[in-house]
A and B are shown apart, each in its own frame.
Chain A
Amino acid sequence: MQKNWYRLDTAALIFPATIRRDWCNVFRLSAGLTEPVDPAVLQQATDDLRKRFPSYFVTLRRGMFWYYLEESRSPVLVREDYAYPLTFMSGAELKRNCLRVLYYRNRIAVEFFHSLTDGRGGSIFLANLVARYLELKHGIVIPRTELIRDPAEPPRAEELEDSFLKNAAEVQADRTEEVSYRLHGTPEKKGFRTLTTGIVETGALLAAAHRYHVSVTAFLAAVMAESIISMQNEECPRRRQRPVKITIPVDLRRLYGSSTLRNFSLVLNIGVDPRYGDYSLEELCSTIYHQLRAYATPQHMAGMIAANVQPQQLIVLRLAPVLLKNIVMNAVYRRTGESFGCLNISNITNVDLPEEMRPYIERMEFIIGPQRSYPNNCSVLSYGGRTYINMIRNIRESELERRFFSRLVDLGIAVEIESNRR
């Protein structure tokens, strides 16, 4: 039987090219239930979603000119979690499946290779997986909405489209930026990832953000920038410092009304240059918020989309063998992908599950792995009145987390800390 295959979307092209022996770009979404997870039911629920979300049950294949995704023959087997999230997804694993379904005690987690989708697409898949699990386990009826979809119905064409191609401007936005400050530390042994979760009341976080007249994302980015600036101040004199910028992914679905389940987000590097002087938290909040407002517009993002789409449409590049493309893409990734930001703050905001599911779900989390060239990353998700701020690192030092969460406490936000640290 002929297997379905999919071209990688515009944003997904970079991820296979940047895979290293011990690193690839993966992220995780998880839901904490009120009772222990039944692995057999979870396996059934996973299998039931195969036809509804075919673009997630795929393997990564290498063609002559491009990588592509091919329908996977091997099932996604649910398994127990490891000691840390986002363990390395090897090339051999990606040839079987680009998706993992994991469980531990009350938690169901899904880990995605980033070529499949972004955080928003992942959150839709997780919500559907948990909904199917609850249907099978408890026999409850969950109404079909924009979030919870009927597993029996076929996927819609717009869910599988590459929305970048439809929304590119004619002219590319300028991508030149100054290289930012590098966070660094002592690498953890055996690729261990330390996860520190700060749990705060969403109301308290919103109130704090509103005190500074900014959004939650801008507020968290400002507190993070302040923490990084203070670390850099202790490290080197002002004239030798580098800009401190936070990489913030922007969900383009809202800007362009897309309902694709594949990647459709782009990042903005927002921050300040501490060489010009000291910034108060209020000033940081203000400048980060206004930069976000200025750049996260349909017009500017269309220019950024064009900067990604147009080079990929050059006939010379299209005809280059995939191995040559890997070299070019790696060079581009090193120059523009990671060097402009100190770390990501990826906020997929509030996940609003149907009323019928809420009694069974205690918490939800979103975790992105450390980048290839910087050791810390931060991801945020709100559910049920609580916001889960996950900071992950592949170094031993917890200095950034300490400064960031202590600052939130100083600002009157009660923070509860959990960690997988051994």
Chain B
Amino acid sequence: MYCVKCGVKLQDGTETCPLCQTPVWNPDQIVRERSYPDSLPERHRESGRTLALGMTILAAVEIIVVMIVCFRLYGELRWGGYAIGGIGLFYIIAFLPQWFHEPKGEIFVPVDHAAVALYVLYICAATGGRWFLSFALPVVIGSCLISTSMICLLKYVRGGRLFIFGGFLIVLGGFTVLVEFFEHLTFGTPMFLWSLYSLSGFAAAGIFLLLCGIIPSMRHELERRFFF
């Protein structure tokens, strides 16, 4: 049995040529004995649980040490609260996902942002500030929405990476303007002092990526020059 297009001889029972995908016409169809079974290997992921356990113990020890030092020296927590919050925040961002076999970004990124918001709320309350609701919270929420939607797009939309990254950079540029706006509202700083620079930088990079997505020759040239 031969492929009419490639001219190569094919195994009995082959339905399409493996090289050119041309359907094979065979009047004496025989069931082909496959050269490999159908079973696929289990997808293995290296577990980070040992690391997570080690870091949990380390974080717990650090927190205990900080508390002992603070209470022995001052009889109260004082700066220890910031240190403990920082350790907790670092642990949640870096090591909490290690406990899970397949940590999902769309879950852990909002969790990380919630942890950041709580830590910032503590700092605001501890320093007697009035900037949490009008500045920190909107900034954290904006950052959370942008990064989570970026992760979801990358995960669930096939292809179009350049458009996703390009759009992300432009939105990020716009977000810096929003940050400055909240800064202006809360602290009374002048508007458009720095955010327009970052907006133009992010927007230029984003537009460049969008152009790369639109123009195939430009994309191929970049792929060839910058592959790694």
List the interface of chain A (C-beta within 8 A of B).
21, 80-85, 87-88, 90-93, 104-105, 181-182, 184, 190-192, 194-198, 235-236, 240, 242, 334, 339, 373, 398, 401-402, 405-406, 409-410, 414-422
Contact = CB atoms under 8 A, between A and B. Distances in A.
A405 B8 contact: yes
B36 A182 contact: no
The residue among B3, B8, B41, B46 with the most chain A CB atoms within 10 A of its own CB is: B8
B227 interface: yes
B158 to A, nearest CB: 10
Interface string B114-142: 00000000000000000000000000000
A195 B19 CA distance: 11
28 contacts: A21-B45, A81-B37, A82-B36, A82-B37, A84-B40, A88-B41, A88-B44, A91-B46, A92-B44, A190-B43, A191-B43, A196-B18, A196-B19, A235-B220, A373-B228, A398-B19, A398-B20, A401-B19, A402-B6, A402-B19, A415-B9, A416-B8, A417-B3, A417-B11, A417-B19, A418-B35, A420-B36, A421-B18
Interface centre among A192, A194, A420 (most CB of B within 10 A): A420
B29 interface: no
A82 B35 CA distance: 11
B10 to A, nearest CB: 6
What 5 pairs across the A-B complex have the smallest Cβ distances?
Answer: A419-B18, A402-B19, A416-B9, A409-B7, A420-B36
Contact of B223 (A21, A90, A182, A190): A182
A410 B3 CA distance: 13
Contacts of B36: 81-85, 104, 195, 420
Nearest to B10: A417
Contacts of A402: 6, 19-20
B21 A398 contact: yes
B72 interface: no
Contacts of A236: 217, 220
A371 B40 CA distance: 21
B39 A80 contact: yes
Contacts of A191: 43
Given A182-B227, A236-B220, A402-B19, A83 B39 contact: yes
A373 B8 contact: no
B21 A90 contact: no
Given A182-B227, A198-B8, A409-B7, 9 more contacts: A83-B38, A92-B44, A196-B18, A405-B6, A405-B19, A416-B10, A417-B18, A418-B11, A421-B18
Given A90-B46, A92-B46, A373-B227, A414 B39 contact: no
Contacts of A84: 36, 40
B72 to A, nearest CB: 37
B156 to A, nearest CB: 15
Nearest to B6: A406
B8 A415 contact: yes
Interface string B29-64: 000011111111101111000000000000000000
A402 B19 CA distance: 5
A242 B3 CA distance: 33
A181 B220 CA distance: 12
Nearest to A406: B6
Contact of A83 (B40, B217, B220): B40
A360 B222 CA distance: 53
